[in-house]
Amino acid sequence: MPSLLHLVQRPTTGAEDTPRLAVRDVYDLDRIDIAAYSGIILSAGCDQRYLRRHREKLSQWVRSGGRLLANGHPLEPFLDDLPKHRRIEFHSVRDLWLTAMEPHPIWEGVDRKDLLLRTGVPGEHSFETLTEIGVAGFYSRSFLVDLPAGGRVITGIGPGRLPVDASYPLGDGEVILHLGNDLITFARPGTTAAHLGEQALAHLENAPILAEASR
């Protein structure tokens, strides 16, 4: 059985499941035993009003040692201590520049330049080429505010290095926030971000809740 749960905003059949990852419609959360999983990934498009109704269930699971990676803008308080966000006024790539801040296993070895620009042109491209044909802002165009006690800024955005990736402890577990499109989609081959998705899965799999369950 997969040890990770990926909640998405669409019907699922199980055909997308892998030995590590169970992909489920967020609206099935009522029927999912989340205690069977060490990590949960919330896609950016998930209905946060619906998730808010499950705040106690999700928060208690994290407090028990689970690790939750939430993508997108926090619009509803669907987890305890969840911070808010603010939009960035940007006029150039400099306003959206990404800077590594505090270390975190998911982003280990990732040069933030390899997350900054995207293009619809097929193939692998150097950073120099991407500065000519790429567009910034897919990684994030907002920043987090009111991080709770113990919160860590992992990636900063813009000249002020405002929080765009962050994590905070909740009980024995961890909430990881990425303020943009789904983080694992930025695992670009041929760059330092090639293993970003794998590192994210590995970190979620090794959550403390697994050690608690085995006792």
Q: Which two tokens stand for residue 16?
A: 């997308």
Q: Count structural domains, the chain.
A: 1
Q: CA-based diameter of the chain, in Å?
A: 55
Write down the pLDDT at residue 214.
45
Beta 152-157 vs 98-100: how paired, if at all?
A: antiparallel
pLDDT at 179 over 60: yes
**CATH code, domain carrying 139:** 3.40.50.880
Note down the domain range covering 60. 4-214
DSSP-assigned states of every residue in 76-132: S--STT--EEEE---SSGGGG-EEE-S--GGGTT--THHHHEE-SS-S---HHHHHH
How many alpha carbons fall within 13 Å on the CB side of residue 92? Answer: 2
Q: The dihedral of CA 63, 66, 67, 72: what is its sign?
A: negative
Write down the pLDDT at residue 199.
98
The secondary structure of 130-163, three-state, reads HHHHCEECCCCCEEEECCCCCCEEEEEECCCCEE
Q: State pLDDT tens for residues 197-206.
A: 999 999 999 9
pLDDT at 132 over 90: no
Mean pLDDT of 118-140: 69
Q: State pLDDT tens for residues 10-58.
A: 999 999 999 999 999 999 999 999 999 999 999 999 999 999 999 999 9
Provide, rounded to the nearest whole percent, the portion of the chain with pLDDT above 70: 89
Q: Which two tokens stand for residue 3?
A: 């040890």
Beta 39-42 vs 4-8: how paired, if at all?
A: parallel
Provide, rounded to the nearest whole percent, the portion of the chain with pLDDT above 90: 79
Q: Compute the distance between CA of residue 46 and CA of residue 26 in angstroms, rounded to an integer.
A: 7
Question: What is the value of pTM for the model shown?
Answer: 0.92
Per-residue confidence band for 188, with pLDDT thresholds at 50, 70 and 90: confident
pLDDT at 213 over 60: no
Q: Compute the distance between CA of residue 72 and CA of residue 100 in angstroms, rounded to an integer.
A: 19
Write down the pLDDT at residue 215.
45
